[in-house]
Amino acid sequence: MDLLIEGMREAIEMLISGDPEIFEITWLTLKVSLSAILISTLIGIPIGVILGLTAFRGRRLLLVLVNIGMGLPPVVAGLWITMLLWRSGPLGSLSLLYSPFAIVMAQVLVSLPIVIGLTCSAFQQIDKNMLIQIKSLGATRFQTVSLLLRETRIAIMAAIMAGFGRVIAEVGAAMMVGGNIRGETRILTTSIVMEVSKGNFDVALALSFILMSLAFIITFFLTILQQRNKKQ
């Protein structure tokens, strides 16, 4: 209990004193996580829509892969990215390993299947008559999809939030591909792991409060966005 109160005090002090290192870590966390979920959203929603609306050979196999991907262990994702970016690996010449970019890649890898899978299931649930109804109003294919996105916006926002939750909580892959380098790739989750291993529970707690506040604020705004124009 003392530890908890101490941690909270520490966190508030750190925030008030404006410790530049904390600020830097938080800022990087925010940048990396938001980039990752933005990329996953931009790629994942179109793929999810196609998987949900169309029938083609290999669709079922693709769905199985997406569903497995939803539970992909982050350390496995981290391992893949590491091998890809390793000096002698296929993308080694770009020397991206241990950069924020590598963390974004790993986080996209773990959140993309969630966005695709949940978007796809939202679109599969659409009444077939709704498609006919929209077509009967003279919609082009693009207009049809945008109307359907509006109809399913609550489920789509849920997909984005679930993806974001995975990204912000993820540590295994970020540790592996980022390396937790001070001032370069240290983000909130990796520094919490480090502080705990050093026995600095108070600092770790302080960081965890910041992390949770971040997650809370962003999810709060996404929820507001999701629920707007929705009375009751």
Residues at the interface with another protein (CB under 8 A)? 127, 129-130, 132-133, 135-140, 143, 147, 150-151, 229, 231
What tokens appear for 92 in the block?
A: 């080694």
Buried-exposed string 35-72: b where 16+ CB fall within 10 A, e elsewhere:
bbbebbbeebbebbbbbbbeeeeeeeebbeebeebbeb
Q: What's the number of CA atoms in the CB half-sphere (13 Å) around residue 172?
A: 12
C-alpha–C-alpha distance, residues 78 and 174, integer Å: 7
Kindly report the backbone phi and psi dihedral angles of residue 215, in degrees, each rounded to the nearest multiple of 5, phi listed first.
-60, -40
**Alpha-helical regions (H) of 57-152:** 59-70, 74-85, 100-124, 128-136, 141-151
User: Among residues 84 and 131, whose Cβ is nearest to another protein?
Assistant: 131
CA-CA-CA-CA dihedral for 72, 78, 40, 96, to nearest 10? -170
- Residue 123 C-beta: closest distance to another protein, Å: 15
User: Among residues 138 and 183, whose Cβ is nearest to another protein?
Assistant: 138
User: Among residues 5 and 225, whose Cβ is nearest to another protein?
Assistant: 225
At residue 91, the 3 state secondary structure works out as coil
Could you tell me which of 199, 203, 51, 21 has the C-alpha nearest to residue 126?
51
User: Among residues 57 and 141, whose Cβ is nearest to another protein?
Assistant: 141
- Residue 137 C-beta: closest distance to another protein, Å: 4
User: Among residues 9 and 135, whose Cβ is nearest to another protein?
Assistant: 135
User: Among residues 87 and 231, whose Cβ is nearest to another protein?
Assistant: 231
Q: Which residues does 142 contact at the CB level (< 8 Å), separation at least 6? A: none
